[in-house]
Amino acid sequence: MAAKAEPIIDGEPVTNEGSTDTIAAVSTAPGRAAIAVVRVSGPATRGIASALGLGPLEARRATLRNVKHPETAEGLDRVLASWFPSPASYTGEDMLELSSHGGAIVPATMLDAVCAAGARPAEPGEFTRRAYLNGKLDLLQVEATLDLIDARSPRLRRAALFALERGLSERIEALRASALRLQALIAYDIDFPGEDDGPLDRNRVSDAAEALSGDLDRLLSLAPEGELLREGALTVIAGRPNAGKSSLFNALLGIERTIVTEVPGTTRDAVEALISVDGYPFRLVDTAGIRESDERIEGMGIEVARSYLGQADLVLLCTDVGREEAEDDSDTLASLPEYPGPDRVINVQTKTDTVSGFIRYPATRSIGISVRTGEGLEALRDAMLTSVFEGLQDAGEVPLVTRARHTW
């Protein structure tokens, strides 16, 4: 990681009063596991290590040790203990990491012992908060840490790691420096118009302003896609009953998740699953087929489908290629107030294996697929990617803003 980070977003230097208490937490997820990690941070860490009977520890070297309870002296576990003296630690404070055995009991026992020796349980995010307050991470890096932990797609993992390594911070710092240079040029022009050096060349100011605004536009233009990387693009599979929506949902998911039958009106509720296409996340939703229906439960399903349509980042509008009135389907959906508009819709013609000499539906974006033969599924995945994440794909590995806050 780069040199000591300064908080850069608020522009105000953040002062750390210095924590007086020592915090501890089991940092690994609960459940049956080979190991668990208990972290301790704060001024009492050294004393806690000694109360647990760890003996002398070399800085930043994992050492095998027996841990005993500070009050009862009962042996608790054999652990790998790592000691990180301040300031070269994650939080900037004295820190101790105990890699104990995992499972339901051992990590809790470790935490209990550490607290009996003088620590208190940490609040959620408190280690990272201290790292921020001690200038070890800037705010963008804190958010990147969260994104990295929560990443549900390989692309977000890469973007988050880039931001954690200060790629995004450095980009923002460069933009800020350009803005300050521009401000200085303008101030010079206003304050000293008649100086010996002569007036400032107007082009210098306008060129600098244009360059800055171009850089900002480039960063912000990818913001909507960056945000979708965190949650996944809401991709709604819609169409008339029996169009093959659930079959497509299962095919994209790779498992038989929803019920498929030849009876129109099979799917009643919306079923959601996260899939990754080439490392990019899509929240896929299978919905009830949309038609006029007096049947109460089907009607409710249709309402749910319509509300999903209204929020969709992308709609896969399915039409059974064999149906004679197929061409009316897109008109029926397009007349709904929730319909998102053609640039967010891919027309999918289903069941191409049932017709010989499949003829392309005369719509701009239309892909023929068959879940029986697999035809067109790869082309559909490509179209989904380009529809939602084209900018990111073209941009390659660049700093990315992934939260609405970044665009304020």
Ligand X SMILES: Nc1nc2c(ncn2[C@@H]2O[C@H](COP(=O)(O)OP(=O)(O)OP(=O)(O)O)[C@@H](O)[C@H]2O)c(=O)[nH]1
- Whose Cβ is closer to ligand X: residue 141's or residue 267's? 267
Residue 267 binds Mg ion (CB under 5 A): yes
**Residue 319 interacts with which of Mg ion, ligand X, none, CB < 5 to 8 Å by class:** none
250 sits near Mg ion (criterion: CB under 5 A)? no
What does 262 bind: Mg ion, ligand X, none (CB cut-off 5 to 8 Å by kind)? ligand X
Q: Does 50 bind ligand X (CB under 6 A)?
A: no
CB of 299 to ligand X, least distance (A): 13
In the complex, minimum distance from the CB of residue 318 to ligand X, in angstroms, rounded to a whole number? 6
246 sits near Mg ion (criterion: CB under 5 A): yes
Which span sits near ligand X by CB under 6 A: 57-65, 171-179, 206-214, 370-378? 370-378
Give whichever of 144 and 290 is closer to ligand X, judged by the CB atom: 290
- Whichever of 350 and 402 has its CB closer to ligand X, that residue is 350
Give the contact letters, 199-238, x = binds to Mg ion (CB under 5 A), - = no: ----------------------------------------
Does 289 bind ligand X (CB under 6 A)? Our answer is yes
Query: Taking CB under 6 A as the criterion, which residues in 215-274 touch ligand X?
Result: 241-247, 260-262, 264-267
Token pair for 397: 């590995």
Residues in contact with ligand X by the rule CB under 6 A: 241-247, 260-262, 264-267, 288-289, 350-351, 353-354, 370-372
Residues in contact with Mg ion by the rule CB under 5 A: 245-246, 266-267
